[in-house]
Amino acid sequence: MDAILKNIISLRAMLESMESSVGLSELNENQKSLYLAGGDCRSEGNIITTADLISHPFTSSMSRPTFFRTMKSLEERGLFVNSGRKKTGEFILKPIA
């Protein structure tokens, strides 16, 4: 058990370091989950859909209000941008600056 705990601690430290190096440390946990879900389910041209994001394992436990507040906050940061192909529900995932 002690060895497993040490491995978990080591992995957590490594993950936090990696998140920091790509700018994810600036985001809260919900924003990270939604942004990473977008990275996982994006299609050609970095297109992501609200439907795919809602059903993703990283976000499926979020309440709908939290999901949409988080989505709006990522839009305000410029990380999710409306694709222009549809009025709503389709976005382009932008890199963290």
Per-residue pLDDT tens digits for 57-78 = 999 999 999 999 999 999 999 9
Domain boundaries, the chain: 26-93
Model confidence at 29: pLDDT above 80:
yes
CA 26 to chain centre: 12
Percent share of the chain, pLDDT over 70: 99
What b-and-e string marks burial along 55-78, b requiring 16 or more CB atoms within 10 Å of the CB? ebebbeebeeeebeebbebbeeee
Give 26-93's CATH code, choosing from 3.40.50, 2.60.120, 1.10.10, 1.10.3470. 1.10.10
What's the pLDDT score for residue 38?
Answer: 94
Model confidence at 1: pLDDT above 80:
no
pTM for the whole thing? 0.86
Model confidence at 84: pLDDT above 90:
no
